[in-house]
């Protein structure tokens, strides 16, 4: 099987690529992988250094918004796994344009290329944020899309474009919607890597509002295992939520990170809440569990401790990224 992985130099995409090439995704042990990535600010080849010399790996620098680049790179591949996206909510609040260009137009260009080159399956990686905010209970895959941030709206647009190409053109598509990921190689603008790296350096951490916003946390390894299941066994045209099963408020998460880095709450700086900040996300994983046998394997406390230690041991990876992005 030849996989064409867009955004494969980013956080989740690179983890999927490493797991596939290291034989850690059952059923994909013999897959070859082409990473197609524009290498924007959050994508870096250092994320792929451990697999760069593998014979089943190829890297192509390219932009999903450019049809000619896709037409040159895509022929001969069996499956597209589409991670490429602008994903930082704060950036979408200040400049939504690139989110629409990449997440909506870029996805449409990729779908058109998949149709033209007869790709057998298109796996679209989305987010639980397309559902909006939920006060209690869980979203299942039949919930209407009610996005509140420009980022979430752009991902909802890409989800609908994927659905349209399935229904209109018969393209074999499956969509996943994940909860908040954490793990190594996470670009340090996101909450866990930002807070961990700040705390390791004795710097304060900015906590939005009252810290009561709640998220479900999913280890990136579990997410990638879920994606591999959907890729191989998901029903065409369907959507599958992938969650981790650990719900925490941002304040609770911050307290765990303070303890893990041996700091105290004097380093918390409460800041004005993000515009349009969703209060709570929570997805049901009943569908992917019952149909495909998915269950999260990483215990959150163990996974978080491992992540803190990874950042402690890998300053050479994150310090240049923070300096470049002025974080």
63, 69, 129, 159: which is the annotated catalytic residue?
129
281 counts as catalytic:
no
37, 86, 151, 216: which is the annotated catalytic residue?
151
| Residue 210: exposure state from Cβ atoms within 10 A (0-12, 13-18, ≥19) | exposed
The DSSP string of 6-50 is ETTTSHHHHHHHHHHHTT-STT-TT-EEEEEE---TT--GGGGTT
128, 143, 216, 221: which is the annotated catalytic residue?
128
Quote the CA–CA distance of 256 and 250 in Å, as a whole number: 10
Closest-CA residue to 65 (of 42, 86, 44, 81)? 86
Quote the CA–CA distance of 20 and 43 in Å, as a whole number: 19
- Asked whether the beta carbons of 100 and 91 are under 8 A apart, the reply is no
Torsion of CA 41, 47, 48, 50, to 10 degrees: 160
294 counts as catalytic:
no
- Asked whether the beta carbons of 37 and 70 are under 8 A apart, the reply is no
286 counts as catalytic:
no
DSSP symbol at 135:
S
The DSSP string of 52-118 is TT-TTEEEEE--TT-HHHHHHH-TT-SEEEE------HHHHHH--HHHIIIIIIIHHHHHHHHHHTT
Q: Which residues are catalytic?
A: 128-129, 151
């Amino acid at each position: 099987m030849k996989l064409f992985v867009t955004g494969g130099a980013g956080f989740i995409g690179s983890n999927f690529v490493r797991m596939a090439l290291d034989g850690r995704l059952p059923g994909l042990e013999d897959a070859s992988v082409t990473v197609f990535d524009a290498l924007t600010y959050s994508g870096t080849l250092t994320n792929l250094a451990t697999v760069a010399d593998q014979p089943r790996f190829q890297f192509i620098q390219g932009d999903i918004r450019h049809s000619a680049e896709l037409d040159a790179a895509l022929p001969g591949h069996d499956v597209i796994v589409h991670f490429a996206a602008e994903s930082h909510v704060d950036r979408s609040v200040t400049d939504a344009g690139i989110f629409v260009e990449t997440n909506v137009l870029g996805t449409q260009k990729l779908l058109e290329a998949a149709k033209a080159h007869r790709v057998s399956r298109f796996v679209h990686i989305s987010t639980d944020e397309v559902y909006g905010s939920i006060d209690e209970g869980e979203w299942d895959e039949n919930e209407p899309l009610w996005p509140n941030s420009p980022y979430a709206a752009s991902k909802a647009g890409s989800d609908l474009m994927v659905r349209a190409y399935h229904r209109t053109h018969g393209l074999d598509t499956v969509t996943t919607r994940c909860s908040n990921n954490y793990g190594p190689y996470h670009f340090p603008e996101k909450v866990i890597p930002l807070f961990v790296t700040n705390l390791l350096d004795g710097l304060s951490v900015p906590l939005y509002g009252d810290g009561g916003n709640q998220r479900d946390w999913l280890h990136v390894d579990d997410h990638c295992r879920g994606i591999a299941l959907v890729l191989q066994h998901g029903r065409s045209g369907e959507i599958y939520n992938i969650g981790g099963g650990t719900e925490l408020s941002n304040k609770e998460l911050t307290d765990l990170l303070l303890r893990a880095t041996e700091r105290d709450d004097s380093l918390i700086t409460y800041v004005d809440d993000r515009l349009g900040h969703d209060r709570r996300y929570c997805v049901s994983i009943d569908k992917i569990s019952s149909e495909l046998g998915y269950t999260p394997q990483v215990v959150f406390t163990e996974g978080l401790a491992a992540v803190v230690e990874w950042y402690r041991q890998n300053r050479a990876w994150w310090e240049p990224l923070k300096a470049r992005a002025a974080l």
